[in-house]
């Protein structure tokens, strides 16, 4: 039996799977196939970007496969450095190339994200032989393959169980070695999914998975142990709507009570089975949880700082600083509660870590086009962010987007404000980038800061773009091409709205091009030309004597 898994990428409110990330779904699908008798060597895996380049091996494997599985679905809009999600035409082309069983699933079941944030029903796929998963794709793949297989035509769609993914996550861990970025693959880890709130946000798709369904701590640790054995060194505990609510206790209120012991057991256990991991980050924290249980939340963040790796980000779903919008859309917290959450995370996590970034900082998600939005909403949001900046609190990331309305959410059919406020939105977003993001970034990583282990990802003309592996990594532009896939340390020299310019640290002054020399702090183009004419330098003393630039010695080598 031969299977092909195509990763068309996923991006959800509580799950990310765009390279260098690999989503849990891919590993669950591979594990389900293994449990049904497929051998590892007969399970092929391609990202859609890889498939676009591969005109030989992949098409042959797809043609011969007994089952072809396509994972897709972008339920939040995103821009990606070097990846492009699958489109409808590509899905149909893949399925037209095989005579085997055709399975399509993932967040795409909720609707297909089109250009401009518009949504199309998943049934826009015209290939009538395709079995579109209406619930969990991994459960469908398991049920229609191997012994006691059900017919795809009469299949009863279902959700997988926590016990099933406990098995499939470990059995499918081998698949990461087939990722084109391996070993530089960030494994997105699920602790639970679904929303335990009694009132859900008007636009979020997470409630479509049901109420909170916690995975046992031991299962998560076992999964990471297997991934580690297969060479994984980068992990993000990102597949959950609120890390603070993992195994939380229902006290009858709107927000369950956090269990710091569960988080301690999780993080300590991960460190025990993956002692030499390179990244352990998180995602998603409910600011309402922090505001309701400040001391328990503070304890959890202290645990995270003790066991994680620096540069971490706790993304807070603020969505709006307009109380009217908060009430109308069932959002998680009022502006003053979110401000308190930002303060608590700053208190615990703003100290600079070993990789050059602060240990952990909050991120903020803002959504526009929600029910009840007015022109005043834009003013209130800007005033909130200005207050954060003025009170010397740090935000690593401010994500501003317009709402995408999906069937089953209260926003569906109520998105006229997206169109009405489009021009206001664009001007306001640019104002935040200039007046908030830029000065904030200068506070977080001042010029002269050294960022460790920046991975050089792509070269564009004479600029290399790189990032540290992690949760919401900062984009680094290096004004000279570098070797793709190589890790280097970088000195921060200049700041953009959401990115920085940097040079290799230490910079070999005798071999560096002028484009890098002129970026050294205190050295412009004119001085760089003079230094270049003096090359080579024997050592630091020779350099200092001939140039008089002792102050840059900490950033250069010979």
Tens of pLDDT, residues 362-380: 999 999 999 999 999 999 9
Does an H or E element contain 95, and which? helix 88-96
Instruction: Write down the domain spans for the chain.
Output: 3-144, 187-216+247-444, 449-555
Closest to 505 measured CA to CA, from 445, 467, 453: 453
Query: Does position 118 have pLDDT exceeding 60, yes or no?
Result: no
pLDDT above 90 coverage of the chain, percent: 84
Nearest partner of 60 among 69, 73, 51, 72, judged by Cα: 51
The 10s digit of each residue's pLDDT in 162-201 is 999 999 999 999 999 999 999 999 999 999 998 877 778 8
Q: Which 3 state secondary structure label does DSSP give 524? A: coil
pLDDT score recorded for residue 116? 46
Q: In this predicted model, what pLDDT tens digit does every residue of 475-520 receive, in sequence order?
A: 999 999 999 999 999 999 999 999 999 999 999 999 999 999 999 9
- Is it the case that residue 217 has pLDDT exceeding 90? yes
Q: Which two tokens stand for residue 251?
A: 């006290």
Residue spans of beta strands (DSSP E) within 209-332: 213-214, 234-239, 279-282, 312-319
Residues 202-214: pLDDT tens digits? 888 888 888 899 9
| Torsion angle (degrees, nearest 10) of CA 544, 550, 553, 557 | -10
CATH number of 449-555: 2.40.50.140
CATH class as words, domain 187-216+247-444: alpha beta
pLDDT for residue 251: 86
pLDDT of res. 535: 94
Nearest to 532 by CA among 541, 520, 95, 263: 520
CB atoms under 10 Å from CB of 171, counted, come to 18
| Mean pLDDT of the 40-59 span | 94
Query: In the predicted model, is pLDDT for residue 18 greater than 70?
Result: yes
- Residue 78: the pLDDT is 83
Give the model's confidence band at 537: pLDDT under 50 very low, under 70 low, under 90 confident, else very high: very high
């Amino acid at each position: 039996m031969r299977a092909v898994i195509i990763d068309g990428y996923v991006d959800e409110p509580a799950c990310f799977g765009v390279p260098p990330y690999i989503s849990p779904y891919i590993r669950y699908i591979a594990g389900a196939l293994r449990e049904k008798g497929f051998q590892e060597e007969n399970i092929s895996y391609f990202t859609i970007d890889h498939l676009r380049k591969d005109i030989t091996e992949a098409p042959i494997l797809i043609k011969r496969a007994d089952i072809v599985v396509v994972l897709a679905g972008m339920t939040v809009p995103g821009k990606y450095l070097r990846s492009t999600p699958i489109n409808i035409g590509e899905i149909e082309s893949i399925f037209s190339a095989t005579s085997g069983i055709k399975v399509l699933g993932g967040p795409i079941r909720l609707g297909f994200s089109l250009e401009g944030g518009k949504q199309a029903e998943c049934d826009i796929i015209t290939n009538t032989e395709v079995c579109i998963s209406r619930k969990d794709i991994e459960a469908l793949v398991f049920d229609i393959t191997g012994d006691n297989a059900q017919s795809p035509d009469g299949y009863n769609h279902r959700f997988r169980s926590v016990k099933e993914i406990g098995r499939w996550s470990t059995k499918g861990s081998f698949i990461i070695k087939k990722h084109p970025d391996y070993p530089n693959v960030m494994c997105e880890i699920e602790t639970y999914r679904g929303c335990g709130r009694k009132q859900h946000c008007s636009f979020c798709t997470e409630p479509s998975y049901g109420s909170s369904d916690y995975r046992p701590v031991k299962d998560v640790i076992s999964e990471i142990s297997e991934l580690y054995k297969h060479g994984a060194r980068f992990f993000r505990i990102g597949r959950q709507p609120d890390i603070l609510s993992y195994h939380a206790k229902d006290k009858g209120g709107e927000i369950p009570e956090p269990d710091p012991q569960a988080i301690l057991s999780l993080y300590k256990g991960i460190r025990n089975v993956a002692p030499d991991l390179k990244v352990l980050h998180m995602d998603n924290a409910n600011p309402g949880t922090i505001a309701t249980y400040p001391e328990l939340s503070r304890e959890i963040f202290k645990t995270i700082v003790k066991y994680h790796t620096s540069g971490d980000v706790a993304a807070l779903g603020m969505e709006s600083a307009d109380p009217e919008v908060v009430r109308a859309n069932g959002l998680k917290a009022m502006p003053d509660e979110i401000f308190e959450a930002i303060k608590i995370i700053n208190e615990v996590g703003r100290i600079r870590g070993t990789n050059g970034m602060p240990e952990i900082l909050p991120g903020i998600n803002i959504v526009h086009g929600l029910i009840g939005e007015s022109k005043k909403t834009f003013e209130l949001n800007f005033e909130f962010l200005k207050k954060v900046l003025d009170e010397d609190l740090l935000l690593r990331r401010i994500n501003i987007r317009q709402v995408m309305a999906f069937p089953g959410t209260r926003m569906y059919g109520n998105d006229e404000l997206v169109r009405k406020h489009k021009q206001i939105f664009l001007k306001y977003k640019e104002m935040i980038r200039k007046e908030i993001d830029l000065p904030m970034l200068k506070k977080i990583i001042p010029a002269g800061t050294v960022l460790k282990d920046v991975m050089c990802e792509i070269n564009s003309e004479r600029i290399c773009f790189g990032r540290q592996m992690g949760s919401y990594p900062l984009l680094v532009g290096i004004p000279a091409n570098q070797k793709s896939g190589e890790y280097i340390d970088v000195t921060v020299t200049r700041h953009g709205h959401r990115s920085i310019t940097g040079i290799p640290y230490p910079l070999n002054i005798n071999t560096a091009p002028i484009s890098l020399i002129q970026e050294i702090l205190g050295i412009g183009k004119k001085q760089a030309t003079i230094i270049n004419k003096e090359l080579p330098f024997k050592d630091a003393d020779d350099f200092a004597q001939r140039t008089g630039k002792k102050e840059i010695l900490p950033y250069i080598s010979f």
